[in-house]
């Protein structure tokens, strides 16, 4: 029995169209789950970071070392161009400027800081729940060929951030995070030399106010 050519062609076009439409959703879910699984099995993470900022007519680039430890601990140690420290012990956040001889302290639950959500990457990664409208971003060029770029809006920062871009490697590591804020400013974090499950003492996330340093309790930004 011969198939009528026109209905057959229509059927083929429909199948191709439906498959193409379903593929992105399937792909993004698989990618997100692979990233979740990778980070949720880590106890610690150490990396060199580069933080870039553009906005309000200003630009800056800073570098340093990041330590993350489950649950909710992080330490951003800036070395260049100015020494500073952003630290969370899971309960309180600390921002220390040695040159200014002052440190700011605020409860983690009140932190309004672009770095703070990263503290919960280990053990609590749920990209599809944390980023609304998570999708592939084919219009974005990855830093390294072969990587993928994902786009979404963070639920806990939706009143401040218009979108987040995540660059993910084929082995499900996040190597770049870009945050576009509603005011037009852009903050980007690049992570290199990542070391997983290294030994990191809890003391790394404990802050003692040095003698002669002023303690200020309240909100702080970047």
Encoded tokens for 215: 């303690």
Q: What angle do CA 80, 215, 65 make, to 5 degrees?
A: 25
- Closest C-alpha to 198, from 44, 68, 38: 44
**DSSP assignment of 165-184, as one string?**
EEEE-TTS-EEEEEEEETTS
The alpha-carbon radius of gyration of the chain (Å, integer) is: 21
Give 7's pLDDT tier (boundaries 50, 70, 90): very low
Reduced to 3 states (helix: H, G, I; strand: E, B; else coil), residue 10 is: helix
- Residues 6 or more apart whose Cβ sits within 8 Å of residue 202: 69, 73
Reported as a single tens digit per residue, the pLDDT across 168-215 is 999 999 999 999 999 999 999 999 999 999 999 999 999 999 999 999
pLDDT higher than 50, residue 110: yes
Reported as a single tens digit per residue, the pLDDT across 26-53 is 489 999 999 999 998 899 999 999 999 9
Assign domain 25-217 one CATH number from 3.30.70.260, 3.90.79.10, 3.30.1280.10, 2.50.20.10.
2.50.20.10
Q: Where are the domains of the chain?
A: 25-217
Are 74 and 119 in contact by the 8 Å Cβ rule? The answer is yes
Query: Where does residue 108 rank: exposed (0-12), middle (13-18), buried (19+ CB within 10 A)?
Result: middle
Encoded tokens for 158: 């939706």
Percent composition of the chain: helix, strand, coil (DSSP 3-state, to 5): 30, 40, 30
Neighbours of 15 (CB within 10 A): 10
């Amino acid at each position: 029995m011969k198939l009528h050519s026109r209905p057959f062609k229509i059927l083929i076009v429909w199948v191709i169209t439906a498959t193409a439409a379903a593929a992105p959703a399937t792909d993004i879910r698989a990618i997100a789950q692979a990233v979740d699984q990778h980070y949720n099995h880590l106890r610690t993470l150490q990396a060199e970071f580069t933080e870039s900022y553009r906005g309000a007519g200003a630009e800056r680039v800073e570098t340093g070392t990041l330590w993350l430890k489950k649950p909710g601990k992080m330490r951003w140690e800036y070395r260049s161009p100015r020494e500073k420290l952003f630290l969370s012990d899971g309960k309180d956040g600390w921002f220390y400027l040695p040159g200014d001889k002052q440190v700011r302290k605020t409860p983690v639950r009140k932190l309004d800081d672009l770095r703070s959500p990263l503290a919960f990457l280990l053990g609590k990664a749920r990209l599809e729940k944390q980023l609304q409208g998570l999708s592939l971003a084919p219009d974005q060029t990855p830093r390294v060929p072969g990587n993928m770029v994902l786009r979404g809006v963070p639920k806990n920062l939706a009143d401040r951030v218009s979108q987040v871009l995540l660059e993910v490697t084929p082995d499900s590591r996040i190597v770049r995070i870009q945050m576009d804020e509603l005011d037009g400013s852009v903050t980007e974090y690049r992570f290199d030399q990542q070391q997983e499950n290294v030994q990191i003492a809890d003391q790394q996330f404990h802050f003692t106010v040095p003698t002669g340093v002023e303690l200020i309790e309240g909100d702080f930004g970047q």
